[in-house]
Amino acid sequence: MPSTRSLALLSLLVSVSLVLSKPAEAQSAAPPSLTELYKDTAGALIGAALTDDEGWEKLTYLTTVIGNRLSGSPQLEQAIQWAGQSMRREGFDKVVLQPVKVPHWVRGKESAQVVVPHPRALPMLGLGNSVGTPPEGITAPIVVVKSFDELKALDDKAVQGKIVVYAVPWEGYGKTVQYRGRGASEAARKGAVAALVRSATGNSLATPHTGAMRYAQDAPKIPAAAITPEDADWMRRMAEAGRPVTVKLTMEAKMLPDADSHNVIAEIAGSEFPDEVVVMGGHFDSWDVGQGAHDDGASCIAAWQALALIKKLGLHPKRTLRVVLWTNEENGLRGGRAYRKALGDMVKNHVAAIEMDGGCERPVGFGASLGAGRGGSEEGSTTPSPAAERMLSRLRQIGALLEGIGAGSITSGGGGADIGPLMREGVPGLALRTVMEHYFDWHHTDADTLDKVDPLNLRRATAMLAVMGFVLADMPGRLGDQ
């Protein structure tokens, strides 16, 4: 009797012989993968990106000559005009400055000081959209809380007329940033006259982080500012020791009437399906501190330069490949909303949207999500649905083209603030992912400067956007097709 091993070998030989005996057309029936189809094109794009100097020159000009770019500021409009003029010189098929009305918040002069127990200056940054203090400032005792629940549990009399300090633990950006967003209104409901919020970072060298806050309709508007984690912890320890602290806060912050701004749009028209669009980009505005290098200047330059390299190599995708430098992401999201509104019913022709808005550290790949209503995951589950898995499978074939630069990872979950309006209309969304080791050390601070960007990482990001954008715009079928 033949052994089990002999039977297994015989079965394998029979299987191989059956495959080899099939007609040639049957053997080659499976279509080539996207990895096979675009291997040479991806190699050319990666090579061009890794040897490119123009992207770094653009980022240097943007951050060094123009600097930070808050919505409504002359610097943002200078950057927009410079980008539009430069793109026209580069000869893209279409360059458009799309009008957008944006909020115009002005910081003005600001300061904070400890008055009691010992006078000293407090490093601080007013939170974006905050109201100012009276000209003489606000001087008041502080009350320290470590959570909204702790604030809620206090008697209103313990808070009235005081400055609430949120000395909250760092639990990652998503959890900690909520105190920046709605901390002022929660404090105002209890009778506080101002709010000081621990900066949303896990690592600080006495550096405050600004960012947008928002006022609830049913609460008074009180001034709000960010303080450093070091000072928030000091205030917490003083409170635990029963030691009173009094602070003086002075802010000239105010909101002016909406200002004129623009989204910057450039594209290479599709050779076969020009009405179908793959869009990629970042936001061109930044906070009014630092240089907006990581947030989000490098991302904008990477997307812009990716399109420039595709054009230089004479590549013509079947679908239109478009770059948008969105305005007003930081304190209003007006640019992303205006872009979607201008599309009207034509939003259905957007094949995919790619956003880079997580800094320009070493990139590792992309996160991706199906748009709303396309079966991204089963209700109540974080597991990708069959439809999402099919999309991820196709994207992983593109990701394989980026493995040589260590950026081939494709994971579930992607999107971004500016492409959110598109995704809510069913457009698949992708986000470029990085190691995120130091991004929140610099985020929204005076330290977000060009020296924090590694030129090689900018080139890697440019290569990723060039390859992903081109393949999505050129591949057989649309990304979200079943």
Q: Is 123 exposed, middle or buried (0-12, 13-18, 19+ CB in 10 A)?
A: middle
User: What is the rounded CA–CA span in Å between residue 417 and residue 356?
Assistant: 10
Which of the following is catalytic: 110, 186, 276, 329? 329
DSSP string, 113-124: EEEESS-EE--E
Dist. CA 476–CA 461, nearest whole Å: 24
Contact yes or no for 316/265 (Cβ under 8 A): no
CA distance 356 to 335: 15
Kindly give, in sequence order, each residue whose CB lies less than 8 Å from that of residue 426, ignoring residues fewer than 6 positions away. Answer: 348, 371, 372, 373, 374, 480
- 361 neighbors 438 (Cβ within 8 angstroms): yes
Residue 329 is among the residues annotated as catalytic for this protein = yes
Q: Could you tell me which residues come within 8 angstroms of residue 314 by beta carbon, excluding any fewer than 6 positions away? A: none
DSSP state of 227: E
| Conformation bin of residue 72: beta by default, left when phi > 0, alpha when psi is -120 to 50 | left
Cβ atoms 331, 105 nearer than 8 A: yes
Q: Tell me the β-bridge partners of 431.
A: 355, 367
- Name the residues annotated as catalytic: 329
